[in-house]
Structure 1
Amino acid sequence: MTFVQLIDCRTSRLDEMNRLMDAWVEATRGKRTATHALVGKDRSDAAHVIEIVEFPSYEEAMRNSNLPETDKIFREMVALCDEMPTFTDLDVVRDEQLNLLAARAFFAAMGSMEPDRIGEHVTDDYVDHDPSYPHPVQGVAAVRDQYAGWRAAFDFGFRVDDQIAQDDRVCTRWMWLGRHKGEYLGIPASGQEVSMEGTTWQRFRDGRICEGWWSYDRAGLMEQLGVLGE
């Protein structure tokens, strides 16, 4: 179970605290078990600082605490504080990256969703960067036409294999599985079962996708359709 420790302190020496954190990161390289560290400053009280440190588990956090480097840095951190810091230990019981969930819902809907409903997932000013097109596709109407073209040529669905989220972006590694049922780039319907691997970066705004960057094995698809030689 993911474990988070909150370190609540008061200090007027935040710059020195940050340099101390940099020193700890360098000193524990290859040893530390912490996976994410975040420092926040109270907007209404500049001397009030909270550090949030994430670990894979409580046991890993204890192993990290027992490092000599951690003990040394802690003593130096206390010296920079106006009073003794307080610690809150939390077992994480819910952790949801909401944009990641929205991206997963988008891929789950592709292949069965009617083209008119694509606007539920993307913004009106959405921009799509797809290597199959010479220029970015802009606007929900243009993306709807693009999606309708794929739907006319293939019965398909996406299998999500991996996802990561950072800030307002989500990266999804996927497998596209389809059946060639209609004309595609001048190739008549063949009934051929086809597949493609790909990766998509998506940028979110207000819970919907506003920009996407696609990368996929189009040459492999054409080879499966008999256009390219072995």
Structure 2
Amino acid sequence: MPAKTDIEQLRAREERMVAEVWNEGDMDVLEELTHEDYVGHWFSMEGGDTDRDGLRMFIEETRKGFSDFHMDIEFMVAEDDMITVGFTTTGTHDGEFMGIPPTDVNPGETPGIMVHRVEDGKVVEGWATWDALGMMQSLGLVPEQFRITDFLETGVTMARQGIMRRTADDD
């Protein structure tokens, strides 16, 4: 049997990341597939880049907030040491997620894209984005159609309900 090409290895690694880490919650596989010095350039509750521990915490928080969380790969494009994965996620918001109390709503499919750079068989750098606004609208937290005043009013309401909290670090 011929050896897998680098591109085939990238694709297989991403399939494992989605199936075993995101869908099954196996954090040992996360440790195996990501470098200890991993840097994630995506939304972090603390702001700025995140490390492998931050990625682990985000995945765990996502799986707690959506106990039936599931990610499907829609497409993969790989070249050299980079792979891009288009995905959709589903799950019922039945636990706290990013400070938002459970709504018991399944927002339907939420699309997103993640990009990973791999060195020596491990993910060293990642970028990701997803339709967080669409998800918030589907959960009923943000109106489907709104003006800036509606958006600000929603923010004030969420703050009063303790959903959005200002901390001393925000000053």
> Shift of the alpha carbon at 1:147?
1.7
Moved over 6 A (4+): none
* Distance in 1 of aligned mates of 2:29 and 2:12: 18
Is the 8 Å Cα contact of residues 100 and 170 (structure 1) preserved in structure 2?
Answer: yes
1:229 aligns with 2:158: no
The sequence identity of aligned pairs, in percent, is 26
> Shift of the alpha carbon at 1:209?
1.1
AA in 2 matched with 1:170: I
Counterpart of 2:86 in structure 1 is: 173
Counterpart of 1:98 in structure 2 is: 9
AA in 1 matched with 2:73: V
- 1:96-126 per-residue CA deviation (whole Å, 9 max, x = no partner) reads 6211210121111213123454212211111
TM score, norm. by length of structure 2: 0.72
SS in structure 2 of the partner of residue 102 of structure 1: helix
Counterpart selection for 1:198 from 105, 112, 127: 112
Backbone CA RMSD of aligned residues: 2.0
- Provide the aligned length of Structure 1 versus Structure 2: 137
* Distance in 2 of aligned mates of 1:186 and 1:141: 19
AA in 1 matched with 2:35: T
Counterparts of 1:115-126 in structure 2, within 5 Å, are 115-126=27-38
* Distance in 2 of aligned mates of 1:116 and 1:148: 13
SS in structure 2 of the partner of residue 190 of structure 1: coil
The 1:221–1:132 alpha-carbon spacing in structure 2 relative to 1, beyond 3 Å, is farther
AA in 1 matched with 2:113: T
* Distance in 1 of aligned mates of 2:115 and 2:10: 12
> Shift of the alpha carbon at 1:190?
2.1
* Distance in 2 of aligned mates of 1:187 and 1:179: 13
Is the 8 Å Cα contact of residues 127 and 136 (structure 1) preserved in structure 2?
Answer: yes
Structure 2 stretches lacking a partner, 5+ long:
145-171
Counterparts of 1:67-106 in structure 2, within 5 Å, are 97-106=8-17
More deviation, 166-175/129-138: 129-138
* Distance in 2 of aligned mates of 1:173 and 1:122: 19
Is the 8 Å Cα contact of residues 115 and 145 (structure 1) preserved in structure 2?
Answer: no
Higher strand share: 1
* Distance in 2 of aligned mates of 1:181 and 1:116: 25
Higher helix share: 2
SS in structure 1 of the partner of residue 92 of structure 2: strand
Counterparts of 1:136-147 in structure 2, within 5 Å, are 136-138=49-51, 140-147=52-59
Counterpart selection for 1:212 from 123, 126, 133: 126
AA in 1 matched with 2:136: M
AA in 2 matched with 1:129: H
SS in structure 1 of the partner of residue 75 of structure 2: strand
> Shift of the alpha carbon at 1:207?
1.4
Counterpart selection for 1:186 from 65, 87, 99: 99
Structure 1 stretches lacking a partner, 5+ long:
1-91
